[in-house]
């Protein structure tokens, strides 16, 4: 078990560009945030950029900003253009392309907006936008139409209106606190927001969706854990996409959150050439479980503008589930879901195990391909 006192594990692979940085600074999330790499020049001190990546750093970032924490950059393989961390954080020229099926707001979140910062689409749950700031701007972000743009960030009035709406709607029993990344807020603002949500008696579940555990695990401080503990029960939804993100720092952050009483689940986005690899996903999910985080969803990549180069065929997701189911703990097998474009909601997909139905006799195949019969009564 990783104890709270071990939160500041030092990354052994710290790039030479940061050799002079003290351990104390490196472990401080504010230092990490303030020293994010935001230009091709800054990135070049850490990794060898190709010409097309340099161009993309200028052209693609006119639409969606670039920011990489020194910590997340330290996970990159400096000379490997296929490095899965790099592919998620460094712009590519393909972001400038638009596929005919791309949508600015693929999940119709704006259409279902009921108050300044709240989307209410499903019967008993709603999603609250807190900020459009993130530690790292993931190139596959499906909310890139707004994320990273401070002018579109929810105001205090928007947040107040959202809380007022929730107070008036007893059918909502579950709120997803999202963004951007809610952990971009200060502890004080997060405490205030979670407190106003927890004061709503019918709001049973508060979920906090964050990628900071992956891109800025230093953000999980004792004070932050104290804030989350105060407003239990809190579910934390992380966003690990690759085993290369599963560092000792991330493990310490997961342990600290779990020790603080949070229930942690992971939402992976399926990304072409990055994590469409069943064996890797299996190992990552086992690592997550060992570190007290339950793999919950694999999301099919949404048809948002500028990210179609990340989209895999549906078969790739089914192949991952097929490779996991039966071969490892069911706890390591997430739901593979497509969030239907236009706001249709999530549908869960899995390989076909029911081969035929003859009256009340059903024939299945198991994970090894052997057939078995089940008779209904």
- Interface contacts to ligand SF4, rule CB under 6 A: 134, 137-138, 141, 143, 147, 179-181, 211
DSSP class per residue in 56-109: HHHHGGGTS---B-HHHHHTS-TT-TT-HHHHHHS--GGGG---TT-BSSTT-T
Is residue 325 exposed (0-12), middle (13-18) or buried (19+ Cβ within 10 Å)? middle
CA distance linking residue 254 with residue 43, whole number of Å: 28
Give catalytic status of residue 138 as yes or no. yes
Q: Of the residues 113, 125, 198, 229, which is catalytic?
A: 125
The CA–CA distances, whole Å, from 88 to 32, 70, 329 equal 18, 15, 28
Asked if 162 contacts 128 with a C-beta cutoff of 8 angstroms, the reply is yes
What values do phi and psi take at 55, rounded to 5? -60, -45
Q: Of the residues 105, 181, 277, 339, which is catalytic?
A: 339
Is residue 377 exposed (0-12), middle (13-18) or buried (19+ Cβ within 10 Å)? exposed
To ligand SF4, the closest distance from the beta carbon of 51 in angstroms equals 25
Comparing CB distances to ligand SF4, the nearer of 200 and 220 is 220
Q: Of the residues 57, 83, 138, 293, which is catalytic?
A: 138
Q: Of the residues 158, 181, 277, 302, which is catalytic?
A: 302
Compute the residue count for the chain.
377
Cis peptide before 180 (omega within 30 of 0): yes
Closest CA to 300 of 140, 98, 90: 140
Give catalytic status of residue 50 as yes or no. no
Give catalytic status of residue 293 as yes or no. no
Q: Of the residues 92, 143, 146, 211, which is catalytic?
A: 143
To ligand SF4, the closest distance from the beta carbon of 185 in angstroms equals 13
Asked if 117 contacts 153 with a C-beta cutoff of 8 angstroms, the reply is no
Give catalytic status of residue 36 as yes or no. no
Query: Dihedral sign, CA of 46, 11, 243, 34?
Result: negative
To ligand SF4, the closest distance from the beta carbon of 268 in angstroms equals 11
Comparing CB distances to ligand SF4, the nearer of 301 and 323 is 301
Tally helices (H) and strands (E) across the chain.
Answer: 13, 13
To ligand SF4, the closest distance from the beta carbon of 109 in angstroms equals 12
Comparing CB distances to ligand SF4, the nearer of 275 and 286 is 275
Comparing CB distances to ligand SF4, the nearer of 120 and 143 is 143
Comparing CB distances to ligand SF4, the nearer of 210 and 286 is 210
Closest CA to 248 of 88, 106, 75, 367: 75
Tokens 């949070």, residue located: 262
What values do phi and psi take at 134, rounded to 5? -140, 155
To ligand SF4, the closest distance from the beta carbon of 10 in angstroms equals 24
Give catalytic status of residue 353 as yes or no. no
Give catalytic status of residue 311 as yes or no. no
Give catalytic status of residue 57 as yes or no. no
Asked if 266 contacts 233 with a C-beta cutoff of 8 angstroms, the reply is no
Q: Of the residues 134, 246, 293, 301, which is catalytic?
A: 134
CA distance linking residue 117 with residue 141, whole number of Å: 19
To ligand SF4, the closest distance from the beta carbon of 347 in angstroms equals 21
Q: Of the residues 121, 173, 189, 283, which is catalytic?
A: 121
Tokens 């009256």, residue located: 359
To ligand SF4, the closest distance from the beta carbon of 94 in angstroms equals 17
Give catalytic status of residue 83 as yes or no. no
Give catalytic status of residue 246 as yes or no. no
Comparing CB distances to ligand SF4, the nearer of 138 and 200 is 138
To ligand SF4, the closest distance from the beta carbon of 69 in angstroms equals 11
Q: Of the residues 38, 54, 63, 122, which is catalytic?
A: 122
Active-site positions read: 121-122, 125, 134, 138, 141, 143, 302, 339, 346
């Amino acid at each position: 078990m990783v104890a709270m006192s071990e939160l500041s594990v030092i990354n052994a692979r710290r790039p030479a560009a940061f050799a002079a940085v003290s351990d104390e600074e490196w472990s401080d999330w504010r230092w990490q945030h303030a020293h994010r790499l935001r230009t091709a020049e800054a990135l070049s001190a850490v990794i060898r950029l190709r010409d097309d990546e340099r161009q993309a750093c200028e052209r693609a970032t006119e639409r969606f900003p670039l920011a990489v924490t020194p910590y997340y950059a330290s996970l990159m393989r400096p000379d490997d253009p296929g490095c899965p961390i790099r592919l998620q954080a460094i712009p590519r020229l393909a972001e400038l392309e638009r596929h005919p099926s791309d949508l600015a707001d693929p999940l119709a979140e704006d259409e279902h907006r009921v108050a300044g910062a709240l989307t209410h689409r499903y019967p008993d749950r709603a999603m609250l936008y807190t900020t459009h700031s993130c530690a790292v701007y993931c190139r596959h972000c499906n909310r890139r139409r707004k994320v990273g743009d401070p002018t579109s960030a929810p105001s205090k009035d928007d947040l107040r209106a959202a809380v007022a709406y929730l107070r008036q709607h007893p059918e909502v029993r579950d709120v997803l606190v999202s963004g951007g990344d809610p952990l971009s807020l200060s502890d004080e603002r997060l405490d205030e927001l979670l407190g106003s949500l927890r004061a709503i008696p019918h709001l049973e579940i508060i979920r906090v969706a964050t990628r900071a555990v992956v891109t800025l695990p230093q953000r999980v401080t004792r004070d932050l854990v104290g804030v989350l503990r105060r407003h239990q029960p809190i579910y934390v939804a992380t966003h690990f996409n690759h085993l290369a993100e599963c560092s000792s720092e991330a493990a310490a952050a997961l342990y600290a959150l779990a020790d603080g009483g949070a229930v942690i689940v992971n939402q992976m986005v399926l990304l072409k050439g990055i994590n469409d690899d069943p064996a890797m996903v299996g190992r990552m999910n086992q690592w997550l479980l060992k570190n007290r985080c339950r793999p919950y969803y694999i999301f099919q990549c949404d048809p948002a503008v500028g990210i179609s180069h990340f989209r895999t065929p549906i078969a790739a997701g089914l192949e991952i589930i097929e490779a996991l189911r039966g071969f490892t703990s069911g706890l390591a097998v997430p739901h593979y879901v497509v969030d239907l474009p236009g706001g249709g909601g999530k549908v869960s997909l899995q390989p076909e195990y029911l081969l035929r139905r003859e009256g009340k006799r059903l024939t299945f195949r198991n994970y090894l391909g052997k057939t078995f019969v089940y008779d209904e009564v």
